[in-house]
Structure 1
Amino acid sequence: MTPVPRAALDEVPLYVPKPPVARAEGVSHRLFLNENPYAPLPSVLAEISRAALTAHHYPEIVPGELVAALAARLGVPESDVVTGPGSVGIYQQVAQAILEPGDEVVYAWPSFEAFPIVARIAGARPVPVPLRDGVHDLAAIADRVTPRTRAVFLCDPNNPTGTSVDADGLSAFLSAVPESVLVVLDEAYREYSTSAVDGVELYREYPNVVALRTFSKAYGLAGLRVGYGVARPAISAALRKCAVPCGVGGIGVRAALASLAAEPELSERVATLKADRDALRAALVERGVPVPPSDTNFLWLPLESRADEVAAVLERAGLLTRLYPGVGIRLTVGTAEANAAVVGVLETVFAAA
């Protein structure tokens, strides 16, 4: 008899159920993973090249220099900084450190697709709470917290809808949630936001808050997998115990440090992407495409029954988007060429409708 995987895995969904397929010929634009459309900044690329010469060496078990730089930047003790291969890597540390079989994990839905995966792999019970007008319904989430709730996952700004929660509402929510419940605030897109709350400030005020951030989005280092977060010492120590040793590669560490040093250039690039996002949204709204405002580097098209059809048309045109069947399409803001192509295709689709 061959080994049998855990029964809990039978209910674990794939991270992306059906990735779009690139066209056999012609140009395809990757607009389905919320990647930065631009390569790392020149100074960062130079540091990546230098660091590549040491790729035959293991990185540090914990990236001490990066932890020190992040602690200084955020104004927190080094002991409170945690790192992982992307923020999703830290979610896995949370699952191992916090969740027991039978625990409940409450989160808004649709939201970050890792949430039910993290919960089920740990043997915990996912408790999704529907969004309200595309935004976290914090009152409803608080109502779903029970004595069995061990963690609440909040993505702010939210993926895939691009919305941010109200600061006063979030503070009221955190005051209502028992301190025994871990609240993970995922801020992967905060650099693109004009209204999102500051999770680091919330961690200072609420001892059960873990704030997660990443170098994958605004910094353009998705392929190097560098995520980080802050948590109070009891939690951060537990997360480090569950981290994969040497989980953040040496090249990623050097690239992250170089990115922190290039903050002015990064700010200019983020400002450009935000302007491109707003221009793309305005062009689509003008052509009859329903697109709510976004606080991220992507747009959400709540097309419901038309979502599958429109995603298929975009894919045939070489525009690879993230489809949520029967719900909507998440569309990453891309290069000028990609954005113009999106407008052209959707103009035709909605004119025909």
Structure 2
Amino acid sequence: MGRDLLQLRPATPEDLEWIYELRHRVYAQELGQHAPDPAGRLRDGLDGDNVYLVAARGAARIGFVSLTPPWSGRYALEKYLTRDELPLLTEDDLFEVRILTVEPRWRATAAAPLLMWAALRWIAARGGRRVVAMGRTELLDMYLAVGLRPVGRTVHSGAVTFEVLTGSVTELTKLALDRYGTTLERLRSVVDWRLDMAFAPRPDGCEHGGASFTAIGADFRTLHRRQHIVAADVLDAWFPPAPGVRAALADDPAWAARTSPPTGAEGLLADIATARALPIETLAVGAGSSDLIYRAFGQWLTPESRVLLTDPCYGEYAHVTERVIGCRVDRFRLRREEGWRIDSDRLSAAVTSGRYDLVVVVNPNNPTGRHAPAAELRSLIAAAPARTRWWIDEAYLGYAGLTESLAGLAATDPRVVVCTSLSKMYALSGLRAAYLVAEPATAAQLRRWTPPWPVSLPAQLAAVAALRDPAYYNDCWLRTHALRRQLATDLAGLDKSVVVEEAVANFLTVTLPSGGPSAAHLVNECRRHDVYLRDLSPLSPQYQGRTVRIAVRDTAENARIVAACRAALDVLRPGPSSLVAIPAGVPAAGSAR
């Protein structure tokens, strides 16, 4: 990039002395917020926890913004208000934006707006959902214009009066794009963006994953690239569909392509009912679980509905409830120190309040891979209020054992719905087939809102053939466990400062140490080797921007994953060392750094 471009980057150690000096000039000498220091430097106790983003042009530093993440355990605002006085400070996904400061001669430029935008993008990329800031009262109109809102608290520091402000990351981002989108797009072309997240979010605002297909070519003109790409960023099966599936797809594909399928997928429904020993009237099918999620939630929920999601959780649930429908969404925190398991007592206490219309449990969970025993979930549901509906997502249940399904309960209990994708467990992701189980009245309602021909004929043929060969898939799921264990062991030999967490599904996670490279850095470096991993940072602030998810592939591709990670870590963190591996079923307490 040319030296004339405005550069946005993380602060380097060399930047810190300038930051302390500029902070002193502005907040001590110019504004009188702090007493002058003979050394001409202004520091505070949070400097070790803060993240600084810097704007520069060539060698000239222009301005900076300071961010305090929730994992620091404290905020600057706590010097003025206790958490009892400002309960907002107790939220686990709250990021504090502090001391946006620009050199005097650059204050009329785009530096300040770009630093504000960079802060918002950095927070979103770490799973932040709310920001808090102290804004000088004389600049209140500027803060209101970007979407921040007063919480009704004013604080004084030296000669300066501040208004405490807050805003939702999603709403602030939407407002910025709606109101200043043209300006941002113009600035994008003249900014040397050196931060580890994209300049702008995806158009729909959801982190769906699947960047590997971009490398293959979404226009399908370079499909030969698939031979070179390791797509470990999506959780597609590493194994092929059953022989019967391949035979069904190969037998007269021209007929399958041009022929309309059974209108209501009657044959597929009958085979699901047989394979799972369920009454056919309890079933509804869709073109993948996302189809069923959007259709069902759109029927049941409104902006007045209240939903409880586990955190971390499959990102599509937050997207559809918060951004598409606009529900009030609360998070039930899964804790790393508890091995990401559901604490039944805590969840029961949260749900028995009776305020939730819907509780979503992904089991086994994506992205943690942990499985909650069916008996525990049955007890939780039995004790829950009658008005609360439970949505149990069993997309990865085959890896834990189909006997753990709650489908039988869903077929009789009007409060429970089980959703099952055939994509991941049956190697049918490209064909899009899924079903849900609910008591007959609920299932009938969803079938009424299902368009005709909801699942393509090739997908119906494939799904029926897959369900008829359980032995093949049981063997594949067992081999997946062995491949996952070997992948974890191999990754464990790379760097002792990194934590590998194994669970029960077809993936594992790798967490980098604090103070080192971010997950985004590792992901980007591995892409140089055509290996695609998933940065989990946007899903939850609990990952602190340091965790990647890696799908299990076959032996050869797993070896490429290990080699790419080794090369990336050599570049990002030079020096020899061995990864801490956490096997399936063992809590990660105290192991993540």
State the TM-score, normalized to the length of structure 2: 0.54
Higher-RCO chain (CA-CA 8 Å, sequence separation at least 6): 1
Q: In the alignment, is residue 275 of structure 1 matched against residue 482 of structure 2?
A: yes
Find the structure with the greater CA-based Rg. 2
Q: In the alignment, is residue 83 of structure 1 matched against residue 285 of structure 2?
A: yes
Is contact 2:417-2:436 (8 Å) kept? yes
Displacement of 1:254 in angstroms is: 0.5
Report the more deviating stretch, 44-53 or 220-229: 44-53
Is contact 1:164-1:195 (8 Å) kept? no
Task: Provide the secondary structure at the position in 1 that maps to 2:299.
Answer: helix
Is contact 1:105-1:150 (8 Å) kept? yes
Distance 2:502 2:382 in 1: 28
Q: Give the letter for the 1:299 counterpart.
A: L
Q: Go from structure 1 to structure 2 and tell me whether the alpha carbon gap of 1:98 and 1:23 turns closer, same or farther (over 3 Å shift).
A: closer
Distance 1:216 1:108 in 2: 22
Distance 1:193 1:82 in 2: 23
Is contact 1:23-1:318 (8 Å) kept? no
Q: 2:503 aligns to what?
A: 294
Q: In the alignment, is residue 14 of structure 1 matched against residue 216 of structure 2?
A: no
Task: Provide the secondary structure at the position in 1 that maps to 2:256.
Answer: coil
Distance 2:329 2:252 in 1: 41
Displacement of 1:142 in angstroms is: 3.7
Structure 2 residues not aligned, in runs of 5+:
1-170, 176-203, 218-224, 538-544, 578-593
Q: 1:311 aligns to what?
A: 523
Is contact 1:23-1:316 (8 Å) kept? no
Q: In the alignment, is residue 39 of structure 1 matched against residue 240 of structure 2?
A: yes
- Deviations, residues 264-290 of structure 1 (Å, cap 9, x unaligned): 222222222221111111222344341
Displacement of 1:304 in angstroms is: 6.6
Q: Go from structure 1 to structure 2 and tell me whether the alpha carbon gap of 1:137 and 1:239 turns closer, same or farther (over 3 Å shift).
A: farther
Q: Go from structure 1 to structure 2 and tell me whether the alpha carbon gap of 1:30 and 1:17 turns closer, same or farther (over 3 Å shift).
A: closer
Q: 2:557 aligns to what?
A: 338
Is contact 2:210-2:234 (8 Å) kept? no
Q: Go from structure 1 to structure 2 and tell me whether the alpha carbon gap of 1:206 and 1:167 turns closer, same or farther (over 3 Å shift).
A: same
- Deviations, residues 84-125 of structure 1 (Å, cap 9, x unaligned): 111121111211221122101111011111101221322322
Q: Go from structure 1 to structure 2 and tell me whether the alpha carbon gap of 1:204 and 1:58 turns closer, same or farther (over 3 Å shift).
A: closer
Give the fraction of aligned pairs with identical amino acids, expressed as a percent: 25
Distance 2:363 2:529 in 1: 31
Q: Give the letter for the 1:132 counterpart.
A: R
- Deviations, residues 115-147 of structure 1 (Å, cap 9, x unaligned): 012213223222222212223344444444454
- Deviations, residues 8-58 of structure 1 (Å, cap 9, x unaligned): x95963242783553898922111110112332332112012363132232
Which of the residues 251, 269, 281 maps onto 1:67?
A: 269
Task: Provide the secondary structure at the position in 1 that maps to 2:502.
Answer: coil
Is contact 1:323-1:329 (8 Å) kept? yes
Q: Go from structure 1 to structure 2 and tell me whether the alpha carbon gap of 1:293 and 1:42 turns closer, same or farther (over 3 Å shift).
A: same
Structure 1 residues not aligned, in runs of 5+:
1-6
Q: Give the letter for the 1:308 counterpart.
A: A
Distance 2:252 2:449 in 1: 27
Displacement of 1:237 in angstroms is: 1.2
- Deviations, residues 131-179 of structure 1 (Å, cap 9, x unaligned): 1222334444444445442111110101011111144432332122212
Q: 1:324 aligns to what?
A: 536
Aligned length: 346
Q: 2:127 aligns to what?
A: none
Distance 2:440 2:504 in 1: 31
Runs of 4+ with >4 A deviation: 9-12, 23-26, 350-353
Q: 1:252 aligns to what?
A: 459
Which of the residues 286, 303, 308 maps onto 1:106?
A: 308
Alpha-carbon RMSD across the aligned residues, in angstroms, is: 2.7
Matches within 5 A, 1:202-213: 202-203=409-410, 206-213=413-420
